[in-house]
Amino acid sequence: MTAIKVNNLSKKYEYYKKAPGLLASVRSLFYREKLYTEAVKNVSFSIEEGELVGFLGPNGAGKTTTLKILSGILYPSSGEARVLGYVPWQRKKQYQKQFAIVMGQKNQLWWDLPAMDSFILNKEIYEVPDQQFKATVDELAELLEIKDILDVQVRKLSLGERMKCELIAALLHGPKVLFLDEPTIGLDVVSQQKMREFIKKYNEQKKTTILLTSHYMEDVEALCKRVIIINQGTLIYDGTLEALMDKYVDHKVLTITFTKPVMHDAIVSYGKIEDYSPLRAVIHATNDRVKKAAAEILTKLPVDDILIDEVPVEEVIRKIFTSHVTNSVIASETK
Residues that bind other proteins (CB under 8 A): 13, 64, 68, 71-75, 91, 93-94, 96-97, 99-101, 103, 105-108, 110, 112-113, 117, 120-121, 124-127
Residue 66 φ/ψ, nearest 5 degrees? -65, -45
Separation of alpha carbons 315 and 294, rounded Å:
22
* Residue with Cβ nearer other proteins (35 or 295): 35
> CB of residue 94 vs other proteins: minimum separation in angstroms?
8
Are the C-beta atoms of residues 327 and 232 closer than 8 Å to each other?
Answer: yes
Rank residues 10 and 108 by Cβ distance to other proteins and give the closer one. 108
CA–CA distance, 227 with 220 (Å, rounded to integer) = 8
Rounded to whole angstroms, how far apart are CA atoms 258 and 305? 7
Burial of 17 (0-12, 13-18, 19+ CB in 10 A): exposed
Residue with smaller CB distance to other proteins, 128 or 290:
128
State in angstroms the smallest separation of the CB of 277 from other proteins: 43
Smallest gap from Cβ 212 to other proteins, in A, equals 17
Report d(CA 57, CA 214) in Å as an integer: 8
Q: Which is nearer to other proteins, 96 or 255 (CB)?
A: 96
Cβ 32 to other proteins shortest distance, Å: 11
User: Is the distance from CB of 276 to CB of 315 less than 8 angstroms?
Assistant: no
Question: Measured from the CB atom, is 39 or 236 closer to other proteins?
Answer: 39
The smaller minimum CB distance to other proteins, of residues 127 and 148, is found at: 127
**Selection from 119, 111, 121 nearest residue 137 by Cα:** 119
Q: How far is the CB of 184 from other proteins (least distance, A)?
A: 18
Question: Of 74 and 137, which has the nearer Cβ to other proteins?
Answer: 74
Q: How far is the CB of 93 from other proteins (least distance, A)?
A: 4
Q: How far apart are the first and last CA of the chain?
A: 15
Q: Where are the alpha helices (DSSP H) in 184-328?
A: 189-206, 217-223, 241-248, 290-300, 313-322
Kindly tell me the burial class for residue 73, based on how many C-beta atoms sit within 10 Å of its own C-beta (0-12, 13-18, 19 or more): middle
Phi/psi class of residue 281: alpha, beta or left (left: φ > 0; alpha: ψ in -120 to 50)? beta
Angstrom distance (rounded) from CA 64 to CA 263: 50
Min. distance of Cβ 105 from other proteins in angstroms? 7
Residue type, 34: K
Count of residues making up the chain: 335
CB of 332 to other proteins, least distance (A): 28
63 versus 226: smaller Cβ distance to other proteins:
63
